[in-house]
Amino acid sequence: MDGLDRCRAGFPYHGTPELRRVPGQADCHNAGAQAKTLGQFVVIYYILILYVGRSIPAIYDEFGPTIETLMHPKVLFGMMLLVTLSTAGTGIAYLFDNRKVLRELYERNRPAT
């Protein structure tokens, strides 16, 4: 079952006019995509909070070694790698779930030969 069958016109497929959300219908969101977005926010806020902590002398004096440990490049690389892989995974899942819709859009908009 593809995305269109699951959420018939209830999910905004990146702005395609014929598939825009119908007012009053519930959105259909992919739990994996929501988890990926949460992971992205967690990593961004993690880095920003530690960066600010590193920039404020009073906080850095108290927690400097902890901040440096948490900002170690290998820690940041691992976190970003997980977010990147989850983004690629949800992208592949999106293409797979919506293959029928994408095929229909391709057929409809294919140049004449």
pLDDT at position 101, please?
Answer: 86
Using N-to-C axis directions, what is the helix angle for 57-70 and 31-55, rounded to 10°? 130
The pLDDT, as a whole number, for residue 80 is: 93
Structural domains of the chain, count: 1
Is there a domain that residue 8 lies in? no
Domain that holds residue 81: 27-109
92 part of a folded domain: yes
- pLDDT tens over the chain, length 113 residues: 444 444 544 444 454 555 555 555 445 567 878 888 999 999 999 999 999 999 999 999 999 999 999 999 999 999 999 999 999 998 898 888 888 888 888 888 887 76
Give residues with Cβ within 8 angstroms of 107, minimum separation 6. Answer: none
Q: What is the pLDDT of residue 21?
A: 52
The answer to whether residue 71 sits within a structural domain is yes
Report yes or no on 44 lying in a domain: yes
Is residue 1 a part of any domain in this protein? no
Q: Does some domain include residue 76?
A: yes
Instruction: Specify the pLDDT at position 26.
Output: 47
Is 60 within the bounds of a domain?
yes
Q: Is residue 100 part of a domain?
A: yes
